[in-house]
Chains A and B, each alone.
Chain A
């Protein structure tokens, strides 16, 4: 993007026209509010109309809220709601840390040394296209249905995006930056320390973000297949009891927790690498 300055001027510009009805109708906060209201009322309406025949397949928002409160107070399989949240989060954190600690240095190493690349890349290309979820069956065969198999799935699922992004982050560093450091008399070590690492940091963090959402998918899939605790277990229990309120409560908690962890990584990124360029929007 060669248009950074233009971007900044657009952002700094503020509209001082008077507020008219048309402007209020088109302003973001108003539209957001309308959209959220429509969403919740539409959901409630659908649930009421569909659920009249006794066996409803959609819970009303209020029912979901009650189900969540119930889970918060009462135990389900020896854990309260927070216990289940913690069980899932723990698995995600363990698997995610293992994968990040292994994959990021390996990706960097692959990008920096072509011999390592020649050895590791083909193996990696071989394993890459297999969706992590397809490993669930084999991990159950290997590790049984306890914690290890779930952590294994998460490691598999988070490894690929971490490694790929670290690798591409170094490879796509602008060659001009290397020229600058060579002009200033730097050696290979300076190149790596002062160019490769800082320049690839945003890409590495993007990889961590992707792998975090992948980790949540994996942990849920693993818990849906076999577990005795965790958010996936809540959903499965809801399914077995045909209680849509419990299922949707579980989904809401998952959305909340996944969103929270993403926020934490974003905050960490802003703290650790302030030189990252921001793209407006998502």
Chain B
């Protein structure tokens, strides 16, 4: 962007105030709608009730049998095991598929068969195979994270500048050298993109896996909230899932910015 002069733009005051106002208005409206009885309390809990339950759940195991932090910890464990397994399998596979014809020829058809099946659809089969324990859930999460990893690593390698590849060939680089020293580094931004996308997928699938078969975890807490007709627990579970996911996303974003400082614009 050297063609542009750096211009300092002062954001008007109203643009700074509006976001705060809009969030405040959202919560006030929510609280008001529930308190005034427009929406019955059996359907939606007021934010204050949710906050109250949050404080209570940190200390008490009733009525779903575990503390809030235990639920969250179980979920994080499952999500991260599945996430790292999918990274460990998906990224090398995608990179290899992008460069080596044999790898692509062998892996692509099977991948194309599996790709359109939503990971959620695997849940019944997983229950047949693994029961409702930890391995089953990790399998679902792994499947969910795998697809974006493979696709992004593949596209990252395919988008390597062909001029550079031709140049490397001219200088007599071997296939393996080109792959290692040219394709892999140039695909890094896409691969890091995959880290974010795969995490979001893993997190979604975690909730799905826990909704159907679990005895602990945030998704299980949401299900229990529905079964016990406690909307405050459902909302608390949703907020916790969203919050944890957002925090992990921010951490990954930071790491990415540090590692790829020179590559991305």
User: What is A's interface to B at a CB cutoff of 8 Å?
Assistant: 1-3, 6-7, 10, 26-28, 30-32, 34-36, 38-39, 57-58, 114-115, 118-123, 126-138, 140-142, 175, 213, 216-217, 220-221, 224-225, 232, 235-236, 238-239, 242, 244, 247-248, 250-251, 254-256, 258-259, 262, 279-282
Contacts and interface: CB of A to CB of B under 8 A. Distances in A.
B204 A1 contact: no
Contacts of A142: 43-44
Given A36-B109, A217-B118, A224-B212, A141 B229 contact: yes
B120 to A, nearest CB: 5
A149 B182 CA distance: 50
A140 to B, nearest CB: 6
Nearest to B3: A176
Closest CB pairs A-B (n = 5): A31-B105, A239-B124, A118-B18, A130-B242, A131-B204
Interface string B79-110: 00000000000000000001001101111111
A100 to B, nearest CB: 19
17 contacts: A31-B101, A31-B105, A35-B106, A115-B18, A118-B15, A129-B242, A130-B241, A133-B204, A134-B237, A138-B235, A213-B118, A221-B208, A224-B120, A247-B124, A247-B128, A255-B116, A282-B155
Q: For chain B, what secondary structure do more than half of its interface residues adopt (helix, strand, loop), or is it mixed?
A: helix
B129 interface: yes
Contacts of B184: none
Contacts, number: 198
A250 B26 contact: no
B118 A131 contact: no
Nearest to B110: A39
Nearest to A238: B124
